[in-house]
Structure 1
Amino acid sequence: MTLDRRHRVGATPGAGDARTRYRRILRFASWNLAVTWWFELFLPRVGLRWVSDRNRAQRMRGFAKRFHDLAVELGGLMIKVGQFMSSRLDVLPPEITAELEGLQDEVPAVPFSEIRLLAEAELGAPLETVFASVEETPIAAASLGQAHRAKLLAGNAEDTGLSSVVFKVQRPGIDTIVDVDLAALRKVGGWLSRIRLVSDRADVPALIKEFAQTSLEEIDYLNEAANSERFAADFAGDQRVTVPGVVWERTTRRVLTLEDVTAIKITDTESLRMAGIDPATVAPVFASVMFDQLFTNGFFHADPHPGNIFVTPIAGASGERPWKLTFIDFGMMGEVPPKTRSGLRKLLIAAASRDGKGLVSAISDVGVLMPSADTAELQRAMTQLFSRFGGMGFAELRDVDPREFRDFGSEFGAVIRSLPFQLPENFLLIIRAMSLTSGVCSSLDARFNLWDSVEPYAAQLLRDERGNIVNDVASQALDAATVALRLPKRLDGLINQIEDGALEVGNRRLERQMERLIVTARRAVAALVFGALLIAGSVVRADDAVLGNVLMILSVIPLVHGLWSGRRRRP
């Protein structure tokens, strides 16, 4: 499909042609970069820092407001850029992030006539021959596409076992707009990377690369369908979670047809109560499911806002939880590599135990802090954070004096922004997922305390880590025992070769040195096995007293052997 054809099919309102759009984005960026250079770099150098400091917050809000207006007018990927910026609490000041929240809710719908043209071109047939019916009023309009309800034809419904479906279609021309926007962003990223003030704090080209990859994956509905099935496989047999089925026969790269699983929006507390569901019981289950994705599965929903999660009552079910959480929209997914997942586990355990120093150490292990970072101030800030606000629920935090929040937030934010760090791959998505999780849980229950969900999960992780330690110690003990059994025999063999003349060595002093080496080796191996068994016993004893005591008693054997070794001399 050519560029002209795409725009005849229909373009995002206000997008204009590609060249005009590209130039407009660059003009906006260049002007605001020039203003920032003047106030943040030039004026301080000539001794007028007070002029820059005096109205910095106002300038930041003004920039965010202008970008907000630009994003709403241009639509497309600019909406995503605004959302991306609103989540960069590590890089951008709060005056910017607060203004850009909620951009997704302001996206206008595309006329159904344009949606119809694109869908029929993708499916290769009129909609009337593909679906029994399609509702022209969208149930959701997003920056990259919009969704309509539909009914499958009788034959398809019988084959798939589905009748009601959601018919999701890309905004016409969105792939061209994404290409243009990414080209403009790469250009701006090149400018920013030459500014030391920015490059010292963030790898902008890397951030844009991460953003580009996520955006391109979102406009490939075949990728989203595959993500949906992978997510469903991760929770197969889990009674807490359900996922809509994919109608592959009616799915292409630009069209996605899914089972209609619309139910009660997770934050619609009034509807939940009418259905006999206590919202306070939903919050910890949702938090636990998100923890499983992040810390166990390593494949997580990166956009769990309230519109993407339903609470689905189970007809005729009885028991503790007669409902399920239904996840939809798997365009924005994240993966946590095993190394990062291990670091996140340590971070979660440190957070649950209110260990500020351990938390900073875990952050370093994850790769967030650069090796040159001085963590003393961050450790102090984290310790203060835990001692003052650790363990508080949302309702308790609302009772704290706002001035205390403001003062602490200002100091804590200054510490964070002064540190040289760069978020690893996908870490932005992790932060976004956890932030949305916390917000959803708090809206379900104002008294919800995230620590109540974190602590039992962290305790389980700690037990798992202990198990890993025991396995490691046992492996080391086995290796040490193998060495202990083989080394004396090999050394004896070497001495025999010397005695038999197989080696042309006839130095009695060497023989005595070899004997001492055997004794030293035996003692060293015995000490290693003793320490391994003693550590393993002390770790296991917390969960299994009998096994722990047995291991600790067995550790005496290599200890005695090591002390006795060498007392008998070769004749």
Structure 2
Amino acid sequence: MTDAALHEAQGPGGGSPHRARYRRILAFAARAFLQTWWFELFLPRLGLGSVAERGRGQRTLRLVRRFRDLAVDLGGLMIKVGQFMSSRLDVLPPEITDELAGLQDEVPAVPFAQIRSSAEAELGMPLERAFASFDEEPLAAASLGQAHRATLSEADAADTGLRDVVVKVQRPGIDEIVAIDLSALRRVARWAARVRVVRDRVDAPALVEEFAQTCHEEIDYLHEAASAERFAACFADDDRVAAPAVVWERTTPRVLTLEDVTAIKINDVAALRDAGIDPAEVAAVFGDVMLDQVFTHSFVHADPHPGNIFVTPISPSLRLADARSVQATGVSPSTSSGTQESGPAQPGSLSLSKRRWRLTFIDFGMMAEVPDGIRAGLRTLVIAVASRDSHGLVTAAQQIGILLPSARTTELERALTVLFARFGGMGFNELRDVDPRELADFGTEFGETMRSLPVQFPERMLLLIRAVSLTSGLCSALDPAFNIWEPVEPYADRLVKDQSAGLLADLGTQTVSNIGTLWRLPARVDSALDRLDAGSLTFDISSLENRLDRIIRVAYRAVSAVLFGGLLVGGALLLASAPALGIVLMCVSVVPLLHAVFGRR
């Protein structure tokens, strides 16, 4: 939306609340840009870089805290922006991402009267007709909408087999707020794109467009409903994972009705233990499931925070029925579709007869598609990490697009070798025992190495980075001894096997192709020799000659341009000591200038 369109949409009242919101966002951004320019660019040019260095940490924290206050005050997309940027470890320093990571997607609830009005307008009927009951107290309130518990009518319950549901209703006017916020963010991105330091690190306009696409998908509840069903289909044969059923009869673009699957929050360690569930086992299964989403299904839940994942206890009768199914078919439903393996089960893949719970995911507004190119690079990365291969890790970074192929990576490989040798295989609890000064020194050195390289995460990696960050933090909270290397290594072993099988297949295909080429080669050589003897073998090099002529003409014009500059500068220098000669040289310089400008191209 352009500024003109923005003004037109809001009417002639330039002081409208939406216009004031737009101006507040731009005012904050302008102040941040001005502060950054003054301290990071202007003062160092005056030789006062040490002054800027001394207060950098405190200035950054004050700026981020002001943004937090703005986000909480405005709500809407500003809270999403904080969450979005907290996952961009490639763009922002740790002090910013750490501060923004605590920004909660919780805002005051919308009065029920407004929610009722919006829901009834979308459903085309009073809530009393649409549902047998509808709880006025919200189950959860977020920046874009809020959720209420409800009960389906007898007829809908009979059709769907469900009774208790959760109804998500968009906040009234959220479409306009999203449009205003995105318009402001696009202008800020254009400002950022003019700063070389920013432009070299990130394509800010592309980043905002990806964020815009994510937001539009998140406020389209039909899209979220389709994603919920796709996610459920991915894990249809996997007893570790569940997803709520969609009640399509009561779902519209602004109202989403789902099966009520509320259970134990995944981070409620006390409740898990009271239910006889080991939090460390939950961490292992959760990490394994997230890896499955990336490498098996290429469809990843990008917002796996504790409010979106439940641990659902399973009744003994259901576990007994599934155990009998395993005995009858010989296939464990605990294995993801397409990834069955023989041999002992991994800790994250306990059979359902032993495990008494499953993970239930909700809120599918933010889902990450993993393109084939990035997926292949991630496979290389996982194999490199598991084998502690620094060169392979750099190759994976280049394959994904994090590093440009032309980047000089010698220092990075050396730093990664040190990283693997000193800290490779350590869990978070083991890292706590390492001397903090050693970690700080290595972190500083490694950070300087990374900053010296052309590092930039592809925009398609945004949601995936967020998912990995939230997964790592949640697993560590569930199990302080959680070691991120453990779930990765079995995947690396399997990927190596898959890669070897693919390599053999490619080798066989290439061998057959080469045999065919060799079989046809004698006949083709004999035909070429016959044409050469008969004088009928010709070569068309006219295009090459034309290109050479153009290159020669460009070279002549370049020489003329250099000659013009030399004569002009020489004449200017001689004006004081030999005015006549200087004027002659400057006049003569017009001849090569005319050739350089108007010469035949």
- TM norm structure 1: 0.82
Match of 1:214 in 2: 214
Match of 1:384 among 396, 418, 435: 418
More off after superposition, 32-41 vs 477-486: 477-486
Structure-2 separation of matches of 1:121 and 1:16: 25
2:452 is the alignment partner of 1:410: no
Instruction: Give the match for residue 393 of structure 1.
Output: 427
Matched, 1:225 2:225: yes
Question: Is the aligned partner of 1:345 residue 2:384?
Answer: no
One-letter code aligned to 2:490: P
Contact in 2 for aligned 1:283/1:441 (Cα 8 Å): yes
Bigger mean CA offset, 341-350 vs 235-244: 235-244
Alpha-carbon spacing, 1:505–1:358, altered in 2? closer, same or farther (3 Å): closer
Residue 401 of structure 1: how far off its partner (Å): 2.3
- Residues 236-315 of structure 1 correspond to what in structure 2 (within 5 A)? 236-315=236-315
| Alpha-carbon distance in structure 1 between the residues aligned to 2:395 and 2:200 | 22
Aligned to 2:136, what secondary structure does the other structure show? coil
Structure 1 position 491, deviation (Å): 5.9
1:174-213 deviation per Cα after TM superposition (whole angstroms, max 9, x unaligned): 1111100000000111111111121111111111111111
Q: Which residue of 1 aligns with 2:183?
A: 183
Distance 2:406 2:201 in 1: 12
- Superposed displacement of residue 47, structure 1: 0.9
Contact 2:80 2:105 in 1 (8 A): no
Aligned to 1:438: 472
C-alpha change, 1:253 and 1:238, in structure 2 (3 Å) is same
Calculate the aligned-residue CA RMSD, in Å: 2.2
Aligned: 1:193 with 2:188: no
Q: Does the C-alpha gap of structure 1 residues 16 and 241 become closer, same or farther in structure 2, counting only changes over 3 Å?
A: farther
Cα distance per residue 1:19-46 (max 9 Å; x no partner): 0100111111111111111111110111
For residues 398 and 276 of structure 1, the distance between their equivalents in structure 2, rounded to whole angstroms, comes to 29
| Amino acid in the other structure paired with 2:93 | P
Q: Verify the 8 A CA contact 2:105 2:143 in the aligned structure 1.
A: no
Secondary structure in 2 matching 1:146: strand
Equivalent position of 2:334 in the other structure: none
Q: Which residue identity lines up with residue 388 of structure 2 in the other structure?
A: R
Contact 1:90 1:416 in 2 (8 A): no
Judging changes above 3 Å, is the alpha-carbon distance between structure 1 residues 504 and 123 closer, same or farther for their aligned structure 2 residues?
closer
* Aligned partner of 1:449 among 465, 477, 483: 483
Give runs of aligned pairs for residues 51-70 of structure 1, distance below 5 A: 51-70=51-70
1:107-186 → structure 2 map (5 Å cutoff): 107-186=107-186
Partner SS state of residue 100, structure 1: helix
Q: Is the 8 A contact 1:90 1:417 kept in 2?
A: no
Provide the rounded CA distance (Å) in 1 between the counterparts of 2:237 and 2:166. Answer: 24
Establish whether residue 331 from structure 1 lines up as the match of residue 399 from structure 2.
Answer: no
2:424 partner letter: G
* SS of alignment partner, residue 143 of structure 2: coil
Query: Unaligned 5+ residue runs, structure 2?
Result: 1-5, 321-352, 536-601
Counterpart of 2:94, as a letter, is P
Partners in 1 of 2:512 and 2:66 — Cα distance? Answer: 66
Q: Is the 8 A contact 1:279 1:444 kept in 2?
A: yes
One-letter identity of the residue aligned with 1:406: A
Offset of 1:84 from its aligned partner? 1.3
Structure 1 residue 119: Cα displacement:
0.9
State the 1:252 CA deviation: 0.8
Q: Following TM superposition, by how much is the alpha carbon of 1:357 offset from its aligned partner in structure 2, in angstroms?
A: 1.6
Whether the 8 Å contact between 1:241 and 1:324 is mirrored in structure 2 is: yes
CA contact (8 A) 2:91 2:456 kept: no
1:486 positional shift: 3.9
C-alpha displacement at 1:106, in angstroms?
4.3
Distance in 1 separating the partners of 2:35 and 2:436:
32
Q: Say which SS state the counterpart of residue 103 (structure 1) adopts.
A: coil
**Match for residue 495 of structure 2?**
461
The equivalent residue for 2:25 is: 25
Counterpart residue type for residue 221 of structure 1? Y
Unaligned 5+ runs, structure 1 = 8-14, 508-571
SS at match of 1:149: strand
What letter matches 2:508 in structure 1?
A
| In 2: Cα distance, 1:175 partner to 1:80 partner | 14
Aligned residue number for residue 350 of structure 2? none
- Conserved? CA contact 1:310–1:327, under 8 Å: yes
Structure 1 runs (4+) deviating above 4 angstroms are: 488-492, 503-507
Deviation at 1:445, TM superposition (A): 1.3
Decide whether aligned partners of structure 1 residues 250 and 505 sit closer, same or farther in structure 2, where only a CA change above 3 A counts. same
Q: Which amino acid aligns with 1:24?
A: R
Amino acid paired to 2:124: G
**Aligned twin of 1:42:** 42
Q: How far is 1:102 from its partner?
A: 2.1
Distance 1:504-1:335 versus aligned 2 partners, 3 A rule? closer
Residue 430 of structure 1, CA deviation: 1.2
1:395-430 Cα deviation digits (max 9, x unpaired): 112222222222222222232233223221321211
**Identity in percent:** 64
CA displacement, residues 469-525 of structure 1 (integer Å, 9 cap, x when unaligned): 000111111112223444446667x59x96xxxx79599xxxxxxxxxxxxxxxxxx
Give the equivalent residue in structure 2 for 1:483.
Answer: 517
- Residues 160 and 83 of structure 1, relative CA distance in 2, 3 Å threshold: same
Task: Rate the CA distance shift 1:398–1:504 in 2: closer, same or farther, 3 A.
Answer: closer
Distance (Å, rounded) in 1 between the aligned partners of 2:443 and 2:18: 42
Distance 2:376 2:287 in 1: 19
CA offset digits 1:86-105 (Å, max 9, x no partner): 11111111221122122125
What is residue 515 of structure 1 aligned with on the other side?
A: none
Give the distance between the partners of 1:284 and 1:376, measured in 2 at CA.
Answer: 35
Describe the superposition over 1:430-454 as per-residue Cα deviations: whole angstroms up to 9, x where unpaired: 1111111111111221111111110
Q: How far apart in 2 are the matches of 1:45 and 1:252?
A: 57
Retained in 1: the 8 A contact 2:88–2:465? no
Q: Which residue of 1 aligns with 2:409?
A: 375
C-alpha distance in structure 1 between counterparts of 2:420 and 2:408, whole Å: 20
Kindly indicate whether the alpha-carbon contact (under 8 Å) linking 2:210 and 2:459 is maintained by their aligned counterparts in 1: yes
Tell me if the contact between 2:397 and 2:403 (Cα under 8 Å) persists in the aligned partners: yes
**Separation in structure 2 between the aligned mates of residue 109 and residue 384 of structure 1, nearest angstrom:** 50
Q: 1:290–1:504: structure 2 CA closer, same or farther, 3 Å change rule?
A: closer
